[in-house]
Amino acid sequence: MGEHPSPGPAVAAGAEAERIEELGPEADERPPAAPEDPWKVLFDQCDPGNTGYISSGKFRSLLESHSSKLDPHKREVLLALADSHTDGQICYQDFVNLMSNKRSNSFRQAILQGNRRLCSKALLEEKGLNLSQRLIRHVAYETLPREIDRKWYYDSYTCCPPPWFMITITLLEVAFFLYNGVSLDQFVLQVTHPRYLQNALVYHPQLRAQAWRYLTYIFMHAGIEHLGLNVVLQLLVGVPLEMVHGATRIGLVYVAGVVAGSLAVSVADMTAPVVGSSGGVYALVSAHLANIVMNWSGMKCQFKLLRMGVALICMSMEFGRAVWLRFHPSAYPPCPHPSFVAHLGGVAVGITLGVVVLRNYEQRLQDQSLWWIFVAMYTIFVLFAVFWNIFAYTLLDLKLPPPP
Annotated catalytic residue, options 266, 277, 278, 286: 278
**Which residues touch 71 (CB under 8 Å, ≥6 apart)?**
4, 5, 155
Burial track 285-314 (b if 16+ CB lie within 10 A, e otherwise): bbbbbbbbeeeeeebbeeeeeeebeebeee
Q: Would you say residue 13 lies in a domain?
A: no
- pLDDT tens-digit map of 283-337: 999 999 999 888 888 887 777 888 888 889 989 999 999 999 999 888 778 888 9
User: What's the CATH number where 76 sits?
Assistant: 1.10.238.10
pLDDT at 13 over 60: no
Please tell me the distance from the alpha carbon of residue 83 to that of residue 141, in angstroms, as a whole number.
27
In this structure, the answer to whether residues 235 and 295 fall within a common structural domain is: yes
In this structure, the answer to whether residues 98 and 147 fall within a common structural domain is: no
In this structure, the answer to whether residues 150 and 184 fall within a common structural domain is: no
Q: Would you say residue 392 lies in a domain?
A: yes
pLDDT for 394: 87
pLDDT at 356 over 80: yes
In this structure, the answer to whether residues 222 and 289 fall within a common structural domain is: yes
Q: Are 236 and 139 in contact (CB under 8 A)?
A: no
In this structure, the answer to whether residues 88 and 146 fall within a common structural domain is: no
Q: Would you say residue 58 lies in a domain?
A: yes
Please tell me the distance from the alpha carbon of residue 245 to that of residue 248, in angstroms, as a whole number.
8
Q: Are 362 and 101 in contact (CB under 8 A)?
A: yes
Q: What is the pTM of this model?
A: 0.75
- pLDDT tens-digit map of 76-130: 666 665 565 555 566 766 666 555 544 444 455 444 444 334 445 677 777 778 8
Cβ neighbours of 80 (radius 10 Å):
20
Cβ neighbours of 75 (radius 10 Å):
18
Distances (CA, A) of 10 to 80, 96, 136, 320, 326: 19, 7, 21, 51, 55
In this structure, the answer to whether residues 72 and 143 fall within a common structural domain is: no
Q: Would you say residue 6 lies in a domain?
A: no
**Is 278 considered catalytic here?**
yes
pLDDT at 178 over 80: yes
Q: Would you say residue 310 lies in a domain?
A: yes
Annotated catalytic residue, options 221, 226, 245, 343: 343
Contacts by 73-80, CB closer than 8 A, 24 or more apart: 73/123, 73/151, 73/152, 73/154, 73/155, 74/98, 74/99, 74/152, 74/155, 76/118, 76/120, 76/151, 77/111, 77/118, 77/148, 77/151, 77/152, 79/116, 80/111, 80/114, 80/116, 80/117, 80/118, 80/148
Average pLDDT of every residue of the chain = 80
In this structure, the answer to whether residues 332 and 185 fall within a common structural domain is: yes
In this structure, the answer to whether residues 265 and 366 fall within a common structural domain is: yes
Average pLDDT over residues 40-64: 73
Phi-psi category of 314—alpha, beta or left, where left has phi over 0 and alpha has psi -120 to 50? alpha
Helix (H) or strand (E) holding 54: strand 53-55
User: What's the CATH number where 178 sits?
Assistant: 1.20.1540.10
In this structure, the answer to whether residues 79 and 140 fall within a common structural domain is: no
Domain that holds residue 149: 128-155
In this structure, the answer to whether residues 330 and 378 fall within a common structural domain is: yes
Q: Would you say residue 27 lies in a domain?
A: no
Please tell me the distance from the alpha carbon of residue 177 to that of residue 261, in angstroms, as a whole number.
20
In this structure, the answer to whether residues 297 and 358 fall within a common structural domain is: yes
Q: Would you say residue 20 lies in a domain?
A: no
pLDDT at 386 over 60: yes
Q: How many residues does the chain have?
A: 404
DSSP for 167-216 reads HHHHHHHHHHHHHHHHHHT--TTGGGSTTGGGSTTSB-GGGTTSTTHHHH
In this structure, the answer to whether residues 294 and 318 fall within a common structural domain is: yes
Count of the separate structural domains present in the chain: 3
Q: Would you say residue 74 lies in a domain?
A: yes
